[in-house]
Structure 1
Amino acid sequence: MAKILEVSRVPPFADSSDSHSDFSLPLTFCDTSWFKFPPVERLFFYSLPQPKQTFLDSTIPKLKNSLSLTLQHFLPLAGNLTWPRHSPKPIILYTPNDGVSLTVAESNAAQDFDFLSADHPREAASFHPFVPNLKVTETGASAISVQITLFPNRGFCIGVTCHHAVLDGKSTAMFMKSWAYICRSEKPGSLPDQLKPFFDRSVIRDPDGLDIFYVNQWLASTKHIDPNPFQFLPSLDVPSDLVRATFELTRADIAKLRQKVLSSWDKQEKLHLTSFALTLSYMAVGILTATEEDHKLAIKKQKVNLLFAVDYRNRLRPPVPENYFGNCVSDLMKKLEEDVMEGAAEKFSKRQSEFAKGNMRVIAVAGSPRLGVYDVDFGWGKPNKVEVVSIDRTGAISMAESRDGSGGIEVGVVLKKSELDGFTSFFLAGLETHV
């Protein structure tokens, strides 16, 4: 558990010569496709053996000040998602009185740091006290929320909850890297070009009006649940028997899997097996195998889809800058060579319908090995561990690069305890099998 020490609002830094005015961004179709999707919750664990008072007197002010300095570059994150009367769709709006909600808390057990930041099975619900909630009202929702939790004499964690209609994983990682860069920099307030967000929404072309279509689809499919347009899809309760664990596939493991697949494949057909595809496929087979007992009656009637978000920044025509802020991803259930816009509305409607009817079982991916979450160094070293907490509500798996930079992939899995035991056996046995 965590004891709340302070709740404050951190505004973007502004001196007497630099006052911020209203700043707004329209939502593109890439944003509205995630409009009511549950928030993404991440935890970054850092080793820092400071006593409580030193942490509160030194580290917290440094983190707060650097957050304020960072927000002057990321004004939308200090604002809210809202829906003006004159607008056909929601917008992101920052006003000078806005800021990011920051909670400072203390864990009542310092040893929890090592327990929570490990790879072994842990109760999924044990992570929830360390992630903040987004404020949601009938008139809007906050963009992000932050919580810093101290584990006295051991370390701390930063919990960040992000509204998915405001930013994708790449933009989230860019913000966290910017905050970390300014925190450890000797020239606070400045950012290298690759961390400066690009806000121009005109680069996302939408001749078919997908932005409005997606909003209307979300509202139509959820109006019987909650008339509040800003309310997320209902959060699923996390059963007490759900546990999370982290599994790592090293480069050698991935090479072994690639060789196993190629050895049984038609040699006449070329096969490009990326590390991501091999990892997702291997994990998906393991999950289906481990959960077969619970799903054996329904699985014959269900389609099983592997669902992951693809970065469209370099796939749109013309390409979008790599530092584009917002969402420029979409879930992929088709070939990458296809036009990413072709048939998008029909595919979205069909998918929503299949979800509602329960005709589809999905194994989705949160995060990516390309985000570089272990590069988020505030000056006390890279994170001991990064966890995507929200996968225990969405049923997804999480992916990140291996912490040691060796080229492996780290995967987070949440299952029932009995299922996780079966998955672990599958995972280890498959890697021990020789070609």
Structure 2
Amino acid sequence: MAATDPVKILEICRVTPSDAPESATELSLPLTHFDIFWLKQHPTERIFFYELTDSTHTFFHSVIVAKLRASLSLTLLHFLPLAGNISWLPHAAKPAICYYPNDGVLVTVAESNADFTLVSGSQMREVMESKLYIQELPVSDSTAATIAFQITLFPNQGFSIGISSHHAIFDGKSVIMFMKAWAYICKQSETETNPSLLPELIPVLDRSLIQDPEGLYMIYLNNWLEAKLPGLNTINPKSLKLFQGKGVPPNSVRSTFELSREDIQKLRRKVIYQLEGLHEEDSNQIKSTHFSTFALSFAYTLVCVVKARMPERKRKIVFAFAADCRARLDPPIPPNYFGNCVKGLPIFTDAEALLGDDGVAFAAEKLSERIKGLEKGVISEREKERLAIYLEVMGAGGTAIGIGVAGSPRFEVYGTDFGWGKPKKVEITSIDREESSSIAESKDGSGGVEVGLVLKKHEMEKFDSVFVSGLRNL
């Protein structure tokens, strides 16, 4: 490997489901309105970094890669549609997930001469470095892969597993469920020939569980057919080519920040104190409001981002998150339902509301209100307009600053152990495609959270200062 070429591709192969009667049968799985909402959205990308000083070339190829391939093949038998593709042939009215015998997922094996400690660290680094450890998801006009992997060796330091997943197939919970199922089978295969999955890792694929009385599926499908966004094939509206997002601005960097359990408790106390002062007549209601770790962490991150970017006080801000709807549907569906079952919830305000002393309290209150509002029902009156508004915002570019968040502390990504220990770092790489952040539980299990972020370098330096000083003054 040349010094200027830190990653060398060693092999590209296709892993098929293990031989069984199920894998010899064709399968077609429809998409739901939750899936179709994300039909042409850019892939979600994650990297799991595992520190392992015993990872010599021989051990990597004969043990790590061999076990990962074998266990992936066994896992795909439980998640058979993932071995297929999204297909939308010219004569078909709707796209669907289609699996045929001998279909499989793309796995790339690579080697890197980069410093594993730096690549898997939390410090500021160039945003494009992570792209070396993820393969692009294969997509054509008529077919789109569901998932692609890259397994990369860092000799005598560790290895990484990069995942690029199609958003019309997975929400975040489903991706992590698949990774944990794969990890469980890999680890258990040390002592069992054909290990069975734990009940909570067995996917529920029944699409009839998702009801659509409002006809949202066809509304969203037509929205995509009419969409004119960068990367989409406007000549062939049925093309499955993906919208790649706004792109990575020049001079962008990636960093990870920590909020301890104590930090979150202090944030919660301060938020409640400030809101009691703002709503004296409703102080008892404020005390009874649940401000989750997620809401407090995102609210604090959001305010720090706005302060780092220093927009005009009247500049419009849109901050958004996705809420899991499995338990909120009527009737609720199983927690191990595999597919999309999330709803994006945007909140519109201006910079002035977030730049004040009570900016975190304002954001936390708005987030908590949106979460609580789901108790009245997942499908709102404006649901039919939701994708059209989203596509308009994405296409216009506009003057509003959009800040989203991916992930959740509830995913427990640091429990993904393939048999060589828990990850040193888990990164949601694809937040670099748009103005977004990520959140996960602290890897030490202490009750804190990790916040991932992509900003321009000078903005990240300012964010770092604001983030640290803000915690110091709680």
The TM-score by the shorter chain falls in which range?
over 0.9
| Residue 280 (str. 1) matches residue 298 (str. 2) | yes
The 3-state SS of whatever aligns with 2:376 is coil
Note the residue ranges of structure 1 that are not aligned, 5 or more in a row: none
What letter matches 1:342 in structure 2? S
Partners of 1:125 and 1:240 within 8 A in 2: no
Aligned counterpart for 1:322 among listed residues 315, 322, 335:
335
The 3-state SS of whatever aligns with 2:392 is helix
Q: What are the within-5 Å matches in structure 2 for residues 259-270 of structure 1?
A: 259-266=269-276, 267=280, 268-269=282-283, 270=285
Aligned counterpart for 1:300 among listed residues 304, 308, 314:
314
Higher mean displacement: 3-12 or 20-29: 20-29
| Residue 234 (str. 1) matches residue 244 (str. 2) | yes
Aligned counterpart for 1:83 among listed residues 63, 88, 93:
88
Question: For 1:201-226, what per-residue CA distance to the aligned partner results, in whole angstroms no more than 9, with x for missing partners?
Answer: 11100012111211110221227852
| Residue 163 (str. 1) matches residue 166 (str. 2) | yes
Partners of 2:247 and 2:434 within 8 A in 1: no
What letter matches 2:420 in structure 1? W
CA shift for structure 1 position 314:
0.4
What letter matches 1:98 in structure 2? D
The 3-state SS of whatever aligns with 2:462 is helix
| Residue 346 (str. 1) matches residue 385 (str. 2) | yes
Whole-angstrom distance in 2 between the partners of 1:106 and 1:246? 24
Whole-angstrom distance in 2 between the partners of 1:416 and 1:359? 17
Higher mean displacement: 34-43 or 19-28: 19-28
| Residue 119 (str. 1) matches residue 89 (str. 2) | no
Aligned counterpart for 1:34 among listed residues 32, 38, 43:
38
CA shift for structure 1 position 30:
0.3
- RMSD (CA atoms): 1.7
Aligned counterpart for 2:322 among listed residues 298, 309, 323:
309
Q: Which residue of 1 aligns with 2:142?
A: 139
The 3-state SS of whatever aligns with 1:34 is coil
Aligned counterpart for 2:102 among listed residues 97, 101, 120:
97
Q: Which residue of 1 aligns with 2:441?
A: 401
Aligned counterpart for 1:12 among listed residues 8, 14, 17:
17
Give the paired residue count.
426
Partners of 1:254 and 1:278 within 8 A in 2: yes
Whole-angstrom distance in 2 between the partners of 1:406 and 1:282? 19
Higher mean displacement: 418-427 or 257-266: 257-266
Whole-angstrom distance in 2 between the partners of 1:222 and 1:199? 32
Higher mean displacement: 253-262 or 264-273: 264-273
Whole-angstrom distance in 1 between the partners of 2:453 and 2:202? 33
CA shift for structure 1 position 319:
0.3
| Residue 200 (str. 1) matches residue 203 (str. 2) | no
| Residue 153 (str. 1) matches residue 156 (str. 2) | yes
CA shift for structure 1 position 340:
1.4
Q: 1:354 to 1:58 in 2, by over 3 A?
A: closer
Question: For 1:221-259, what per-residue CA distance to the aligned partner results, in whole angstroms no more than 9, with x for missing partners?
Answer: 227852352111134443451111111111100011111
CA shift for structure 1 position 354:
3.8
Whole-angstrom distance in 2 between the partners of 1:217 and 1:19? 35
TM (normalized to structure 1)? 0.94
Q: Which residue of 1 aligns with 2:425?
A: 385
Higher mean displacement: 18-27 or 132-141: 18-27
Whole-angstrom distance in 1 between the partners of 2:172 and 2:254? 21
CA shift for structure 1 position 71:
0.3
Q: Which residue of 2 aligns with 1:175?
A: 178
Q: 1:279 to 1:148 in 2, by over 3 A?
A: same
What letter matches 1:242 in structure 2? S
Question: For 1:171-192, what per-residue CA distance to the aligned partner results, in whole angstroms no more than 9, with x for missing partners?
Answer: 1111000000000102234101
The structure with the greater share of residues assigned to helix is 2
| Residue 72 (str. 1) matches residue 90 (str. 2) | no
TM (normalized to structure 2)? 0.86
Q: Which residue of 2 aligns with 1:255?
A: 265
Q: 1:174 to 1:263 in 2, by over 3 A?
A: same
Q: Which residue of 1 aligns with 2:354?
A: none
Partners of 2:202 and 2:336 within 8 A in 1: yes
Partners of 2:87 and 2:142 within 8 A in 1: yes
CA shift for structure 1 position 167:
1.0
Q: Which residue of 2 aligns with 1:57?
A: 62
Q: Which residue of 1 aligns with 2:362?
A: none
CA shift for structure 1 position 87:
4.1
Partners of 1:123 and 1:240 within 8 A in 2: no
The 3-state SS of whatever aligns with 1:264 is helix
The 3-state SS of whatever aligns with 1:222 is coil
CA shift for structure 1 position 263:
1.9
What letter matches 2:446 in structure 1? S
Question: For 1:93-112, what per-residue CA distance to the aligned partner results, in whole angstroms no more than 9, with x for missing partners?
Answer: 11112100000000023xx2
Partners of 1:222 and 1:233 within 8 A in 2: no
Whole-angstrom distance in 2 between the partners of 1:320 and 1:257? 33
Partners of 1:391 and 1:398 within 8 A in 2: yes
Partners of 1:45 and 1:384 within 8 A in 2: yes
Whole-angstrom distance in 1 between the partners of 2:92 and 2:205? 19
Q: Which residue of 1 aligns with 2:308?
A: 290
CA shift for structure 1 position 389:
0.7
CA shift for structure 1 position 336:
2.1
Whole-angstrom distance in 2 between the partners of 1:14 and 1:222? 43
